[in-house]
Structure 1
Amino acid sequence: MTGSSDAGVAPTPETVLARINRAGLDEPLFVAGRARAPSLEQGFLRRDFRCVGATGEEPLRQVRWSGQPVRSDLDMFLAAYLATPDAARGPLLVLSPPGGGKTLLLSTLAARLPPEHFTVIRVPLDAVNPGAPVSAQVHEALWQATNGRVSWPDVGLFDDDGYLVLLVDGVDAAARPGYLSEVAEFQRRESLLGRPVAVIAATDTGLAGRLRGPDGMPVLLLEPFDDERIRLWLDTWNAVNSADIAAGRLNGVGADTAGLPGLGGSPELLTLMTLVLAENGDALPRDGAARYKAVLELMLRRRPAPVIPVEESVRLLGDLAITTFHHGLDTVGEDELTVEPHALRWLMRCPFVSVSAGRSYGLLDSQTADFLVADRLVVTLAGREPFPGLQAMLSHRVLAARPRVLDFVAGLSIGRHDLRAVLRAALAEARGSAPPPPVLAGFATLTANLVLLAVTVGDTADGVAVTDLMPPGADPGWAWRCLVLAWDAGLPRPAWHAIVDRLELIDGHIVERTQEPADDEYRSVAEARLRGETSLATTIERGLDQRGDPGRGMPDTPGAG
């Protein structure tokens, strides 16, 4: 199938295609600016995946991945698949989030499948007429790749032992739900003509929801990078750029120095993060939250041809993070997002966003989601948002249940003591009228979140005085006790317990708790102390200790009196 290489003998179409595909291994993975990008051969990492079979002609949004095992044998799986007759009866579909490595996988397959057994044709649908029949798209892709030297009827006619493989990238560009069934019909006709063709297609997970495929079509979902693959990628990057790193022109990037979990889970994100750290490492903030923010914004700025400004990108990601936080879910449906159509299209193709085939949106990583919630809160407070805006953001879920959000808030608000004045004013407005029972949960959530933020913002270790948060002229101890009792009455038990584990009252100041969370038996002691009922807390603790387990008691803590 490789054809003759003798002088004066024209190469066969199969030889031309093999040369083109093999040359892709030497191409850089991306445009790297001052740095050197690893080649495809150097930088491609084998991926973990899950696999299911599509059912009938139902849209792919019906596919359920939960419960499917994660596999590490992608090479063996694809080799075994291409060796079966089923490969010529219908396509195999590869899914991943945007920037998840589908195109890299197809490029690597094209280059590494042995040309003596396979003739591989890449068909990028965004580069051909997406409305044309499948055979016309293949012909156009061949014409473009070979400068008109190879046409579709000529391929596969020189060696009956060869096997044709089409790699169709960007199936969503075809813009018709039945495209994969058209591919299967194309394969059926080619088999009848004596030229069996295997097809491996790929598209973004979120764009696959409206597609349908033939019954039993294999569907693969590529898994995010794990820590080991991130380490391997960074080792490769440092080796390729070792001369510039040694000369001080670039920073080395190690898994132990990146310190940015959640920003490197996909090939595109890991690439962007590496570039930002290599080029800007010395100039980036050292603090965790400020560093996270700077790297995230630089990564968005480095994305090729951004269609919206970075500031709007961060706002859209923050909108998504806040919406999922409010619902207490990892993802929300498209109808829950109040964004313009162009913004929804951007979210659908953003590598930080995970979009299911059923059009549910969420952040790819929970740490990134927590950071974006914290960033939105700090930006909102710094902008002196009117009370209704804060009320809408803080009346759904208690922040103590997501402690990482508060940790990020603390880092983002260092030195911003003015934010406490905003929170004090908001808390006073929230207390303005006693809520009727149906809205007690919202009142409790809102006031608890305002207090949690007031304790968290700034960089002082002594917390915030009860007298600063309670109404002027009122007994601060009594007012505080009433507020804490409202939390106890209005919040779900996990949220209330999260507050008790996060806050304590010491010498009239509300501070972040430094002790280990109380277990269930001793939580009543921590609850009494948070209310300022020190004598009651001591009495309960002594009673528990006298039951025969004195080592579990909690140390006395002075309260508000």
Structure 2
Amino acid sequence: MGLTYEDAVRLLGGQREGTVAALDRLAGGLLLASSATGAGFVSGLFDARGELARYGGGLVHGLGERMRGLTRFERSERLAAAHAVVVLSAYFEVLAESELPCDVGELELTSADQAALAGAESEASRRLGTLAASLLRADVPMPAPHRPYEATLDALSDFYRRLSVEVTRFVRGMAVWDRLDDTRKGRFERALSGEVPGRAVTRYEELFRQLALDCPEVAFWAGLMDHRATRAQLRTLTVGLEELGRVLAELAAHRPSDQWVAGLARAHAAALNRPILTSRDVLDGLSLPVLGAAYVNPDFRVAEVGPADRFAEDSWWGECPVRTDLDHFLLGHLTSPRAARAPLVVLGQPGSGKSVFTQVLAARLPAADFLAVRVELRDAAADADLQTQIEQAVRSATGESVTWPDLVRRGGGALPVVLLDGFDELLQATGVSQSDYLMKVADFQSREESQGRPVVVLVTSRTAVADRARPAEGMLALHLEPFSDGQVGRWLEVWNRTNADGFSARGLLPLAPEVALRHGELASQPLLLLMLALYDADANALQRHGERLGEGELYERLLSSFAAREVRKSGEPLGEESLDDAVERQLAELALVAFAMFNRGRQWIGAAELDTDLSALGPDSSRPGASPGLRATLSGAELVLGHFYFVHESRASRDGLRLRTYEFLHATFGEYLIARLVTQELDDLASSLRRSTRRNRPAVVDDAFLHALLSFVPLTTRGTTVSFAVERLRALPEPRRRAVHDVLLDLFHHALLDRHDSRYGDYVPQRLPVPTGPAVYSVNLLVLAVGAAGQVTGRELFPQAEDIVSEWRRSALLWRSQCQEGAWTGLVSTLGIERLWADGQRDIRLSLRQGAEPEPDRVDTYWTYGYAPGSEHRPRGGGWLCWFQYDNSELREKAAFLCDKVDDTVVHGLEPLAGTWDTAVTTFLGDGTEPPVSAANAMIHLWLLIDDDAPTADLTEAFDTCLRFALNGFAIADVVTRRRFRKMFLRRLAAEWRRLDPVWVEEALGEIWRGGAHRSDGGPTFHALAGDILPIELRVLWRDMDERDRGPGLS
């Protein structure tokens, strides 16, 4: 979003007469079209270059003083204008110092050109128009806080080069150009294309820093914090956003605030003095820091996003550098004109601090220059427009009603900053599509700017659902990063200082950073770090267990501790065993909450949906509250969830109804609870089976409950769930783990058969096609079986099958057809497969992938087609054997019929071989020891090695494989493909033979000499083709062979 020079001059208050005169001399009167044909145009252009530079300097000089009393946005506009003047002034100052190849007086238009310009039809006229537009009306590159300063310099360099191109192009069309010799022409072009742009960038940097002395905001835009003025403003930006507020206050206009607006500011500021959690959730003797002291600036990444950017995926952000200067970025963004043209979207994981960021920011913005309005979208009417939501938020904060336009007027020129907190909560709690929400926000900003009420808007959202709304043009997204080690230490310093007296009174140690950091991601998210601190505050529980806790065990202890606190709140005295039972029951119910979300493919669950699930799965889960006289009867959801820290309640309004949803503050809690319930149920089933066997009862596995839970979504959609389940299974004693594995295999054997058990039939978290349930259940059993044993063979999965691989393939195709693409991808990335032979039969072995797996092995088509060692399709006693399978057109037809993306991608890659090269795809050649290759494989491999400058040995080996095909590699009747392949091979050999092993070259020529002179197939023999294609340097080697063999020679 640049600014034109014309706009800049207007904004900076240049007098029309003087401005037009200066620009007129520069552009030959384009602003006054009647003078465009006058003599002296070009000399005026170059004469004016120095005057324009001086003129621009006059517009910028003393700007800081002239901006006093302006509103925040007016000041930003003037600064953008001043920057545009600096950009062009730098260019013309350098141009004024440059040596021209001729006298300025020689730079004149011919009479013909002047006449043509009057009609605006000549090439000269078009060049003139382009030049003028480049000088006056092109967008000037602007620094931006989300972009490195170096990127701005690169953009300026390109801008200056384009400007020089237009100047050069225009001069080339003048009569004087033809009178210049080549030396002077070259000197002129080199100066304009190379020297002037480079020197202009250097001069720009000097002028830019001078501007920043008067107006520090422009340094914030560019991220330049190394000059005196900016250092004096910033000092130490290390704690929270306090310094952000101080710097903005020092830059503010110091206008008296409207009393009503001041009240809104006080409401925001009050949040800084509130505890970070409500007091009823705190252990006795524990103190909570206030928000203003506990907030630690997070690291972040920031980028401009477009419609094709996948900014809701964490992997997309990997390309953006991590930044540690949140204050600097916000200073630049809030003082930049572009902030009022598109929203800034703040993304993060649950518990990353998005909401507290908006609270702290609203509190820190000085009311003299900024009018902050924080809108909690979970409490806003979801079906209302943005203006209504803002007005409702103001009423909620102050108790007074006001219209948006009146609110802005009361601000007295303060720049409105609307903080829309919780787009994901609005989206999730209502279930209503909001795909155009960000576009509506940008439209609102556009409307407000046109009405003289420019407004900055920030929107927060959980990263995973950010793509549910299309990005607006020019929108920035900011991704909050996990805490660094230093930030964890800084937060714990505040925590320990706040609780120093309480810890001392209870004989507890403060929580050291190194203890918290042992728990990785838990310590890196602000809210989870708080929970670790709360857990340790109960008898130093975290520190007592040291490093012996695995990740799963840590979650177990965290959840059990919090569940025990909830149980104790009931006030009912419980013995240790009864307490353990109550805790276990509470955690099991929480696991059903996790499954309610998981089996709907969401990170949240509506209260009504949860009540339905609890009623269908647990007989006691929707019991009424114990004290109906004190409060209304509670739903099952309310009783189960209580006031757990790690369960977040979202509220929204729609059509006058209050809607509630719940989600875990971090998805990992739900993922652990799912793994916990599943592994406990499997252990219980195995134990029940053992008891039945001991009592000589029928050994029947009652998997109705397990089947209900695991028939909707594959566990592999959440890799962490699988990891937790494996950790818990591997922790079982060996006999119990083996029993669980046996149960899983038995259930897998029957998973695709009819079921007649209707228990839990009312549990329907989502409607699925009939085949999907059995398919998903069998997938989950398979993953758990592999996790329990470490590996599973195909024979264990299909003990009665005659062809194990055919059974596996049928099952895999079922899973692929019934699983969503993400779940299917998760499955194949979770399980590694090894193809093997067992007693002369094909088999497979499955295992869990560990970390970065190596590339899959080459396809062994002996195994693919079932040609076991000793098969007649494998050559014996050396030599090579060729065979043909299927028809490539048939393979393409099957792929087309399936409409599968993977198949289509592979077929597309081989499409150039379709038709005349068809059989090259399905003709294979092997020596019986190594996996055979197809002609297409050999040919493509050779091409790639040639272009990759491969080592001699690799390239020679690839040529040798192709030679085998050229000699013996096609069916007798496949004349056309064999001949094409031979020509391809010989042409590559003729071009690359010097790169090959000379011994192999001689041997290869001998094989062509002896083995290629027969079987013409109605056309030239291989030998004859070689004589036509190979160079003389190779053919001469045959003379010696001719003398030795006395066979027909070639010359």
CA distance in 1, matches of 2:784, 2:377: 49
Contact 1:426 1:450 in 2 (8 A): no
Q: Distance in 2 between matches of 1:403 and 1:132?
A: 41
Quote the Cα distance in structure 1 between the aligned partners of 2:845 and 2:597: 27
User: 1:228 Cα deviation (Å)?
Assistant: 2.6
With over 3 angstroms needed to count, the CA separation of the structure-2 counterparts of 1:158 and 1:371, relative to structure 1, is closer
* Separation (CA, whole Å) in 2 of partners of 1:52 and 1:278: 39
- Verify the 8 A CA contact 2:726 2:787 in the aligned structure 1: no
- Residue 87 (structure 1) shift: 1.0
Q: State the Cα distance separating 1:208 from its structure 2 match.
A: 2.5
| 2:775 corresponding residue in structure 1 | none
Q: 1:384 aligns with which of 673, 686, 694?
A: 686
The yes-or-no answer on 1:137 pairing with 2:389 is yes
Residue pair 1:253, 1:277 contacting (<8 A) in 2 also? yes
Show CA shifts across 1:90-142 (max 9, x none): 21111112222111111111111233321211111222322222222211211
Distance 1:45 1:301, change over 3 A: farther
Residue 273 (str. 1) matches residue 532 (str. 2): yes
Corresponding residue of 1:186: 444
Classify the secondary structure of the residue corresponding to 2:298: coil
* 1:492, distance to aligned residue in structure 2 (A): 6.9
- Map 1:160-559 → 2, pairs under 5 A: 161-172=413-424, 173=426, 175=432, 176-248=434-506, 252-258=510-516, 259-282=518-541, 287-289=548-550, 291-298=553-560, 301=563, 310-314=587-591, 334=601, 342=610, 349-353=663-667, 363=668, 373=675, 376-377=678-679, 380-384=682-686, 408-409=727-728, 412-413=731-732, 419=736, 422=739, 446=785, 449-450=788-789, 490-491=845-846
Task: State the alpha-carbon separation in 1 of the partners of residues 415 and 734 from structure 2.
Answer: 69
- Structure-2 residue corresponding to 1:47: 298
Residue 740 of structure 2 contacts residue 788 of structure 2 at CA under 8 Å; is this kept in 1? no
Q: Is the contact between residue 273 and residue 290 of structure 2 (CA under 8 Å) also seen in structure 1?
A: yes
CA distance in 1, matches of 2:368, 2:842: 71
Name 2:35's counterpart in structure 1.
none
Amino acid at match of 1:19: R
Shift in CA distance, 190/375, structure 1 to aligned 2, threshold 3 Å: same
Q: Structure 1 residues 148-157 or 12-21, which shifts more? A: 148-157
Q: Are the structure 2 counterparts of residues 56 and 423 from structure 1 closer, same or farther at C-alpha, using a change threshold of 3 Å?
A: closer
Cα deviations across residues 26-54 of structure 1 (Å, max 9, x unaligned)? 11111234321111111111112222323
CA offset digits 1:186-215 (Å, max 9, x no partner)? 222221221211111112223323212312
Separation in 1 of the partners of 2:359 and 2:545?
Answer: 37
Amino acid at match of 2:481: E
Give the C-alpha shift of residue 243 in structure 1: 0.4
Check 1:369–1:231 CA distance in 2 against 1; reply closer, same or farther (3 A cut).
Answer: farther
CA distance in structure 2 between the aligned counterparts of 1:110 and 1:131, rounded to whole angstroms: 25
Check conservation: 2:726, 2:788, Cα contact below 8 A. no
Aligned-partner Cα distance in 2 for 1:428–1:179: 49
Change (3 A) 1:104 1:293: closer
Q: Secondary structure at the match of 2:262?
A: helix
CA RMSD of aligned residues (A): 5.1
Counterparts of 2:564 and 2:490 in 1: how far apart (Å)?
Answer: 23
Assess, with a 3 A threshold, how the Cα gap between structure 1 residues 74 and 424 changes in structure 2: closer, same or farther.
closer
Structure 2: gaps (5+ residues): 1-252, 567-584, 614-636, 638-646, 649-661, 690-700, 750-777, 793-836, 854-1051
Greater helix share, 1 or 2?
2
1:116 and 2:343 correspond: no
Query: C-alpha distance in 2, partners of 1:311/1:135?
Result: 44
Contact 2:686 2:743 (C-alpha < 8 Å) held by counterparts: no
Alpha-carbon distance in 1 for matches of 2:404, 2:603: 46
2:263 maps to 1:16:
yes
What is the TM-score when the length of structure 2 is the normalising length?
0.35
Separation in 2, partners of 1:119, 1:293: 43
Partner Cα distance (1:238, 1:138) in 2: 38
- C-alpha change, 1:419 and 1:200, in structure 2 (3 Å) is same
CA distance in 1, matches of 2:388, 2:463: 26
Distance in 2 (CA, whole Å) between partners of 1:420 and 1:485 is: 31
What do residues 289-343 of structure 1 show as CA deviations (whole Å, max 9, x unaligned)?
Answer: 4851443314764999xxx95324346658999x9xxxxxxxxx94999x99658
Partner Cα separation in structure 2 for residue 484 and residue 426 of structure 1: 27
Tell me: CA distance 1:376–1:301, structure 2 relative to 1, closer, same or farther (3 Å): same
Deviation by residue 1:160-181 (Cα, 9 ceiling, x = unmatched) = 5521111111224164322222
Q: Following the alignment from structure 1 to structure 2, what is the Cα–Cα distance between the partners of residues 208 and 494? A: 30
Higher relative contact order (CA 8 A, sep 6+): 1
Distance 2:350 2:407 in 1: 32
Q: Which has the larger radius of gyration?
A: 2
Inter-CA distance 27–78: structure 2 relative to 1 (3 Å threshold): same
Are residues 179 and 279 of structure 1, via their aligned partners in 2, closer, same or farther at CA, if it must alter by over 3 Å?
same
Distance 2:274 2:740 in 1: 54
CA 383–200 in structure 1, closer or farther in 2 if over 3 Å, else same: same
Cα distance change, pair 383–288 in 1 and its aligned pair in 2 (3 A): farther
Whether the 8 Å contact between 2:744 and 2:782 is mirrored in structure 1 is no
* Residue in structure 2 matched with residue 90 of structure 1 by the alignment: 342
Residues 27 and 39, structure 1, Cα contact 8 Å, conserved in 2: yes
Q: Which amino acid aligns with 2:263?
A: V
The structure 2 residue matched to 1:104, chosen from 342, 356, 372, is 356
CA distance in 2, matches of 1:38, 1:159: 32
Normalization by structure 1: what TM-score?
0.61
* Offset, 1:146: 1.2
